[in-house]
Structure 1
Amino acid sequence: MTTRPADRTARPRVLAIAEAANPEWVSVPLVGWSLAQALRGVADVHLVTQIRNREAILRAGLVEGRDFTAIDSEAVARPMWRLGEALRMGEGKGWTILQAIGAITYPWFEHLVWRRFGADIRAGRYDLVHRITPLSPTVPSHLVRKVQAAGVPFVLGPLNGGVPWPKGFEAEMAQEREWLSRLRRAYRLLPGAGATLAADAILVGSRHTGADIPARHRGRCIWLPENGIDPARFWRAAAPAPGPLRACFIGRMVPYKGPDMLLEAAAPLLRDGRLRLEMIGDGPMLPDLRARAAALGVAEAVTFHGWLAHGAVQDVAAGCAVLAFPSIREFGGGVVLEAMALGLVPLIVDYAGPAELVVPETGVKVPLGPRADIVAGFRDALARMAGDPAALAPMGAAARARVLDHFTWDRKAAQVAAVYDWVLRRRSDRPEPLPPPPPLAVPECRGTGA
Structure 2
Amino acid sequence: MAVHPVTAKKPRVLAIAEAANPEWVSVPLVGWSLAAALREVADVHIVTQIRNRDAFVRAGMVEGQDFTAIDSETFARPMWKLAEKLRMGEGKGWTMVQAINALSYPWFERLVWRQFGNAIRAGEYDVVHRITPLSPTISSSLAGKCASAGVPFVLGPLNGGVPWPKGFEAERQAEKEWLSYVRSAYKVLPGRTATLRNASAVLVGSRHTESEVPSQFRDRCIFIPENGIDPSRFNRVAQPEDGPLRAAFVGRLVPYKGADMLFQAAAPLLRDGRMQLDMIGDGPMMPELTALARSLEIEHSVTFHGWKAHEEVQDILCRSHILSFPSIREFGGGVVLEAMALGVVPLIVDYAGPGELVVPGTGLKVPCGTRSEIIEAFAAKLESLMNDPSGLPAMATAARDRVQSHFLWSQKARQVRQVYDWALNSETAQKPQFFDKT
Band of TM-score, shorter chain: over 0.9
TM norm structure 2: 0.97
- Cα distance, 1:190 vs structure 2: 2.1
Q: Residue 58 of structure 2 aligns with which residue?
A: 59
Q: Deviations over 1:191-249 (max 9, x none)?
A: 21111112000000011000010000010000000100011211111111121000000
The letter for the 1-side match of 2:105 is: Y
**Residue 433 (structure 1) aligned with residue 430 (structure 2):** yes
Percentage identity across aligned positions?
A: 66
Q: Which residue of 2 aligns with 1:256?
A: 256
1:282 corresponding residue in structure 2: 282
Partners of 1:203 and 1:222 within 8 A in 2: yes
* 2:3 paired residue number: none
1:349, 1:355 within 8 Å by CA — same for their partners in 2?
Answer: yes
After superposition, the CA RMSD in angstroms is: 1.0
Is 1:345 matched with 2:342?
no
Letter in 1 for 2:174: Q
Q: Which runs of 5+ in 2 are unaligned?
A: 1-6
SS at match of 1:373: helix
Report how far residue 348 of structure 1 moved. Answer: 0.3
> CA contact under 8 A between 1:282 and 1:306: conserved in structure 2?
yes
For the pair 1:41 / 2:40, whether they are aligned, the reply is yes
2-side partners of 1:191 and 1:216: how far apart?
Answer: 18
Residue 175 of structure 1: how far off its partner (Å): 0.3
Cα displacement (A) at 1:162: 2.6
Q: Which amino acid is 2:395 matched to? A: M
Taking the aligned partners of 2:236 and 2:389, their CA distance within structure 1 comes to: 20
Q: For the residues of structure 2 that align with 1:360 and 1:148, how far apart are their CA atoms?
A: 41
- CA–CA distance in 1 between the matches of 2:27 and 2:350? 23
- Counterpart in 1 of 2:323? 323
**Alignment match, 1:192:** 191
1:223–1:441 contact (8 Å) kept in structure 2: no
Measure the CA separation in 2 of the matches of 1:189 and 1:140.
11
1:274 deviation in Å? 1.2
Gaps of 5+ in 1: 1-7, 444-450
Indicate if the aligned counterparts of 1:324 and 1:346 stay in contact, CA closer than 8 A: yes
Q: Counterpart of 1:5?
A: none
Residue 447 of structure 1 corresponds to which residue in structure 2?
Answer: none
SS class of match (2:394): helix
Q: Which residue of structure 2 lines up, in the alignment, with residue 3 of structure 1?
A: none
CA distance in 1, matches of 2:136, 2:437: 18
Match of 1:234 in 2: 234
- Structure 1 stretches of at least 4 aligned residues deviating more than 4 Å after TM superposition: none
Give the alignment of 1:60-99 within 5 angstroms. 60-99=59-98
Tell me the CA shift for residue 11 of structure 1.
0.7
Q: What displacement does 1:432 show?
A: 3.1
For normalisation by structure 1, the TM-score amounts to 0.94
Q: Where does 1:37-436 land on structure 2 (aligned, <5 Å)? A: 37-198=36-197, 199-426=199-426, 431-435=428-432
| CA deviations over 1:245-291 (Å, ceiling 9, x no partner) | 00000000000000000001000011122111111100000111111
Q: Secondary structure at the match of 2:391?
A: helix
2:76 aligned counterpart, secondary structure: helix
Corresponding residue for 2:437? 442
Counterpart amino acid of 1:384? S
Indicate the SS of the match to 1:231.
Answer: coil
Partners of 1:162 and 1:212 within 8 A in 2: no
How much has 1:391 moved relative to structure 2?
1.7
SS in 1 for 2:232: helix
Q: Separation in 2 of the partners of 1:166 and 1:16?
A: 35
Q: Deviations over 1:281-317 (max 9, x none)?
A: 0000011111111111111010011111111111111
2:296 counterpart letter in structure 1: L
* Offset of residue 15 of structure 1: 0.2
For 1:349-389, what per-residue CA distance to the aligned partner results, in whole angstroms no more than 9, with x for missing partners?
01001000101201110000000000000000000111112
* AA of the residue aligned to 1:96: T
